[in-house]
Amino acid sequence: MYTVGRASELTGVPSGTLRKWEQRYGVVVPQRSPGNYRLYDDEAVRRLSVMRSLVDAGWTAQEAARHVVDDVAAAEAQVERPEEPAYEAHFDTLVACAQDFDVPRLERLLVDGFASPDLASVVDDWLLPSMVHLGRAWQRGHVSVAGEHFVTAAVHRRLAQVFQSLHPAPSGGPRVVVGLPRGARHELGVLAFAMVLRARGVAVTYLGGDLPLEAWVGAVRLIAPDAAVLAAPTLEDLPATREVVEAMAPMTRVLVGGAFQAEVGGAHHLGHLAGSAASALARELGAVS
């Protein structure tokens, strides 16, 4: 639960505006503490984040509020995202595998796709753009939920396998912690980033998804890395991402990727090419690949 001041910090909405949205439009209905102070839960913070993004995109407060109150998930889908990669025929291969659950074809595709020694190009030119198109196919009803999960799980396993098979970085070199904040579970982007970073000679401690704030702080304090990398893959991940960035900024350099990275202040933004960003960070840290 968050106080009105903390909810304001996490969403970027001034406390006075937050109260107006609550009272005038009913966007959220906060709980009350024994002292009668407003308290906001994660869902309320998510709604306020969606509302703010819509207003920033040019919607009137009334329009944005109506959409958020009616269906916050549908309202979130209206928020602008990074430009979708231009269509290329080979992006359809993962979609086809999701449509017919073709296990042998999917396995061959992943083996062939990861055969190139240039993992940054594998990630930026084929893998992640293909996953974006897979997500669009699911949204348009061309792929079932089960089919999308089937492919995503296979890609996750392959990324983890390649990550684990890479030679450990030389001792004494740069070290980076990579993961996602509390509630964030879209791991493919950060795992792909971690894989390329390790391939470039950086010692990577991969923490996975849905890591609570206190766990982030404890890990960074213990490891003392040269940098910490996380992401804001969805709009609802913004409050937790901002919270982690705020807590870690005094401890180490913080870098943020993901579709909504531009909404996170206090950190370096990695851009939307995970492979290239990982390679650039490795060079900057002086890693020996």
Which of the listed residues 130, 165, 200 is the one where a domain comes to its end? Answer: 165
Looking at the structure of the chain, the number of domains it has is 3
Read off the tokens for 145: 């939920």
Any domain includes 105: yes
Q: What is the pLDDT of residue 81?
A: 62
Query: Which residues form the domain of 20?
Result: 2-77
Contact between residue 268 and residue 279 where contact means Cβ atoms under 8 Å apart: no
Which stretches of the chain score pLDDT less than 50? Answer: none
Q: What pLDDT does residue 82 have?
A: 58
Measured distance CA(45)–CA(25) in Å, rounded? 15
241 plus 223 within the same structural domain = yes
Q: State if pTM tops 0.75.
A: yes
Q: What is the pLDDT of residue 246?
A: 92
Q: Which domain-ending residue is among 144, 165, 186?
A: 165
CATH code of the domain containing 62: 1.10.1660.10
String of DSSP letters for 92-148: HHHHHHHHHT-HHHHHHHHHHHT-SS-HHHIIIIIIHHHHHHHHHHHHTTSS-HHHH
Residue 277 placed within a domain: yes
- Whose CA is closest to 19, among 29, 32, 33, 9? 29
In a domain, 109, yes or no: yes
> What pLDDT was estimated at residue 30?
82
pLDDT digits (tens, 9 = 90+) for 163-204: 999 988 888 889 999 999 988 889 999 999 999 999 999 999
pLDDT value of position 77: 65
pLDDT of residue 141: 86
Alpha-carbon span 163 to 205, nearest angstrom = 11
Q: Which of the listed residues 113, 134, 165 is the one where a domain comes to its end?
A: 165
12 within some domain: yes
Within a domain: residue 32?
yes
User: Residue 21 falls within a domain, yes or no?
Assistant: yes
